């Protein structure tokens, strides 16, 4: 009786011990399995993350920075996609999305308008329509919000210049473009100090982007036409007009200026080349009173005045000629 029962008990005990051992083994096996899978999962995750980073890095390095010439930048047209720009010019020196984008846009449009005045009537049948079209694109671009601006450097003859491209973020298309003298990645002229009152010779269209004080002289030049000027804002005063001329606003701002033709041929200058912004940064209308329009011979100077109708009262102002300006107060 004891034998079989004991054997049966032993068998049950052995079987129970076997199950316990196997259960422990299975638990351990499952535990290590989980650890292995976890590690394997982490490894996979790390691999995937690494691959993603490599892919992202690769995609951002599809286009590299290039050494550009004038022939390269002339490939870019209004209406091109940003992809076309990157494909032809590579990565820009810098991409801007700050207020500097619109500051440079205003300056560039002013340069185009100045070029129209400079070239008009001088047998430049191709250049005048070019700058008129560009200025139209620039004016339209001013109404687009959140513009991006790509800044490139290119070699032009013996100097390095800057090429700017404005991109509409909604359409991803080029809406305006302009070239100017060289700017570094901070948007500054490396060779210039903040105390400079005059600007040396620049590239094709004078692109000083300078701010001076009333009484200072700024130099302008155009390598395409070999024209050059020195412009001085002599004074800015308030005027109530006379018996024949009365301001529609509060008063006139009378801008007295001098222009010297430092080029080698006659040069036309008129009052429309100047712009006046009041204390609220609002552009004022030019009045026809004593309208200045002169042809200045090479090496000669002329003095003139321009009257702007002021609608917002204030003491500060800014006078523009091309992309440079004179700041002051009455």
- Please report whether residue 81 resides in a domain: yes
Residue 133 and residue 182 in one domain: yes
Q: Which helix (H) or strand (E) holds 275?
A: strand 274-277
- Please report whether residue 32 resides in a domain: no
pLDDT per position as a tens digit, 175-228 = 999 988 888 888 886 654 444 433 333 333 344 557 789 999 999 887 777 788
pLDDT per position as a tens digit, 279-292 = 988 889 998 888 89
Quote the tokens at residue 129.
């329509």
Residue 140 and residue 232 in one domain: no
Note the pLDDT of residue 170: 94
- Please report whether residue 281 resides in a domain: yes
pLDDT per position as a tens digit, 109-122 = 888 887 777 666 65
Note the pLDDT of residue 320: 93
Number of domains in the chain: 2
- Please report whether residue 274 resides in a domain: yes
Q: Tell me how far apart the alpha carbons of residues 83 and 63 are, in angstroms, rounded to a whole number.
A: 10
Residue 323 and residue 225 in one domain: yes
Residue 265 and residue 297 in one domain: yes
pLDDT per position as a tens digit, 125-147 = 677 788 889 889 999 999 999 99
User: Which of these three, 160, 191, 222, is where a domain ends?
Assistant: 191
Q: Which helix (H) or strand (E) holds 217?
A: strand 217-222
- Please report whether residue 30 resides in a domain: no
Quote the tokens at residue 171.
């359409």
DSSP string, 26-63: HHHHHHHHHHHHHHHHHHHHHHHHHHHHHHHHHHHTSS
Quote the tokens at residue 128.
């005048």
User: Which of these three, 191, 226, 251, is where a domain ends?
Assistant: 191
pLDDT per position as a tens digit, 69-101 = 999 999 999 999 999 999 999 999 999 988 889
Residue 131 and residue 219 in one domain: no
**Mean pLDDT across 302-329:** 91
Q: Can you give the residue range of the structural domain that contains 69?
A: 65-191
Q: Tell me how far apart the alpha carbons of residues 313 and 310 are, in angstroms, rounded to a whole number.
A: 7
Contacts of 247 by beta carbon, 8 Å cutoff, 6+ apart: 240, 241, 287, 309, 310
- Please report whether residue 45 resides in a domain: no
**Domain with 298 in it: what CATH number?**
2.60.40.1240
User: Which of these three, 139, 162, 191, is where a domain ends?
Assistant: 191
């Amino acid at each position: 009786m004891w034998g079989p029962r004991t054997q049966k008990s032993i068998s049950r005990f052995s079987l129970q011990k076997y199950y316990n051992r196997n259960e422990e083994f299975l638990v351990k096996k499952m535990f290590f399995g989980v650890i292995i899978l976890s590690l394997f999962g982490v490894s996979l995750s790390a691999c995937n993350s690494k691959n993603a980073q490599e892919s992202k890095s690769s995609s951002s390095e599809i286009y590299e920075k290039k050494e550009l010439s004038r022939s390269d930048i002339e490939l870019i047209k209004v209406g091109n996609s940003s992809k076309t720009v990157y494909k032809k010019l590579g990565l820009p020196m810098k991409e801007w999305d700050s207020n500097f984008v619109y500051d440079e846009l205003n300056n560039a449009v002013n340069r185009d308008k100045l070029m129209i005045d400079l070239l008009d009537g001088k047998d430049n049948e191709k250049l005048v329509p070019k700058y008129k079209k560009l200025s139209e694109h620039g004016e339209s671009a001013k109404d687009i919000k959140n513009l991006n601006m790509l800044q490139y450097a290119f070699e032009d003859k013996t100097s390095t210049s800057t090429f700017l491209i404005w991109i509409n973020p909604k359409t991803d298309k080029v809406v305006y473009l302009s070239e100017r003298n060289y700017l570094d990645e901070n948007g500054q002229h490396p060779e210039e100090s903040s105390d400079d009152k005059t600007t040396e010779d620049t590239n094709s269209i004078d692109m000083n982007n300078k701010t001076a004080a009333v009484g200072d002289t700024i130099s302008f030049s155009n390598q395409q036409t070999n024209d050059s000027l020195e412009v001085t804002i002599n004074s800015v005063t308030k005027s109530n007009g006379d018996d024949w001329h009365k301001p529609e606003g509060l008063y006139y701002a009378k801008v007295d200026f001098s222009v010297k033709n430092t080029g080698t041929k006659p040069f036309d200058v008129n009052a429309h080349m100047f712009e006046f912004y009041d204390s609220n940064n609002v552009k004022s209308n030019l009045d026809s009173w004593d309208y200045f329009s002169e042809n200045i011979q090479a090496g000669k100077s002329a003095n003139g005045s321009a009257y702007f109708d002021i609608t917002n009262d204030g003491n500060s102002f800014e006078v523009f000629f091309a992309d440079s300006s004179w700041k002051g107060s009455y």
